[in-house]
Amino acid sequence: MYDVIIIGAGAAGMTAAIYTSRKALKTALITIEIGGQAVQATNIENYPGYKGKGFDLMNKFREQVVEFGTELIPGRVNKLIKKGEGFEVTLTNANKYETKSVILAYGKVPRKLDIHGEEEYIGKGLHVCAVCDAPLYADKVVAVVGGGNSALGSAIYLSKIAKKVYLIHKRDEFRGDEIIVNRVKEKDNIEILLSHIPKKIKGENEVEKFVLENFKDNSERELELDGIFLEIGFTIDVDFVKELIEVNNIKEIVVDKNCNTSQKGIFAAGDVTNMQYKQIVVSAGEGAKAALSAHAYLQGKEIIGTDWDY
C-alpha cells in the first residue's frame, strides 16, 4: 500500500514526487518515459535558473526524485478504480498497485501501435524518447517508427550512435520537411522501409525481433534488432479515469486552485489538466501544489489558509 501513486514523470509528476517523498510519504511514480515532452526541447531559456536542453533539465529532476526515495515503476496505466478508502491502479501488463491517494500528471501520452508485445516490452527495448534512451544502443541495431519530423530527427540522431537504423513508415512518403528527409537519405546506416506496418514485437526478456507487413503486397519481414523507438505523436488519454473524475469537453482533467479533482483523494497537475498555461515551470509549480494537497488530505486536514496553517 502506497501513500501516493503519481502517474506521469514530466515536470509536474517528478516535482510532485520530490515533494511527497520529502514529506516521508511512500511514493511510487508510474511512467512509460522520464521527462515527458520537455525532453524534446533543444533550448530552454524561460525556466528560472536554468538555460539548456530539456533532456538535461529533466535528468536533474530525475536525480532528485531518486535521491529522495521515490520508487520508479515502468509501465502504462489502463485502469484506476476506487477500492475501499483508497484506490487500485492496474497497468497494461496486469500488475496492480494499491494506494491511499493518486496524483495524475501524465500530460499528453505517446500514441500506441496497439500490436502484440507492445506493452510487454516498454522499457525493455521499446522506447518513446530517442534523446533519452539512444545512448543505450551504441553500435546496436534499432528501428524508428513514424513519418514526421520527430521520427526523421530521431533517426538521424540515432544514426550517430547505433550501428544501423531502420526507419519505418506506413505511408509511401514521409510527412516531414523535405530538407530533413534528404538528410535521412544521406545517412548510409539508415534503411528506409516505407509502406510497412508494425505487426508484432518478439523476444525472450527484451526486444529481439520486429515483425512488419508490407501492405502493398501483404508480405512479412522480420527484423532482428535491439531496440525500437516510437515517434508517432501524442494524445490525451482520460479513458481510465473519466468515470471517477470530471473532465472537460477537450478531455482535460478539471481541477481547482489546489489541484483537487472532483474525486477526493485524486489530484492532478500539469498539461493533462485544464490549467491554462502549458509551460514547464508552471507544470512544476502545479506538481508541488498537488503534492502538498495530497499530503494535507492524507493528514486528514484541509488547506484553508497558507500550507503551514493546516
DSSP 279-309: -HHHHHHHHHHHHHHHHHHHTT---SSSGGG
CATH code of 4-110+234-309, in short, is: 3.50.50.60
pLDDT of amino acid 237: 86
Catalytic: which of 3, 56, 132, 271?
132
- Decide whether 4-110+234-309 matches 126-230 in CATH topology: yes
- Asked if 254 contacts 248 with a C-beta cutoff of 8 angstroms, the reply is yes
- Asked if 82 contacts 101 with a C-beta cutoff of 8 angstroms, the reply is no
- Asked if 266 contacts 244 with a C-beta cutoff of 8 angstroms, the reply is yes
Catalytic: which of 3, 133, 226, 237?
133
pLDDT in tens, 215-245: 999 999 999 999 999 999 878 889 899 899 9
DSSP-assigned beta bridge partners for residue 220: 213
Residue found by looking up cell 500550507 in the block? 307
Give the span between the Cα atoms of 281 and 283, in whole angstroms: 5
Residue found by looking up cell 496553517 in the block? 309
pLDDT of amino acid 309: 55
CATH code of 126-230, in short, is: 3.50.50.60
pLDDT in tens, 181-198: 999 999 999 999 999 999
Q: Per-residue pLDDT averaged across 199-205, rounded?
A: 95
Residues making up the chain, counted from first to last? 310
DSSP-assigned beta bridge partners for residue 144: 167, 229
Helices and strands (H, E) in the chain, number of each type: 6, 20
Closest CA to 15 of 287, 213, 216, 221: 287
pLDDT of amino acid 304: 62
Domain positions in the chain are 4-110+234-309, 126-230
pLDDT of amino acid 131: 78
Catalytic: which of 129, 226, 259, 271?
129
Torsion sign over Cα 254, 257, 261, 266: positive
Closest CA to 36 of 24, 17, 54, 21: 54
Query: What pTM, to 2 d.p., does this model score?
Result: 0.75
pLDDT in tens, 276-297: 888 899 999 999 999 999 999 9
Residue 109 has pLDDT above 80, yes or no: no
DSSP 29-64: EEESSSSGGGGG-S-EEEETTEEE-HHHHHHHHHHH
132 counts as catalytic:
yes
129 counts as catalytic:
yes
End-to-end CA distance of the chain: 25
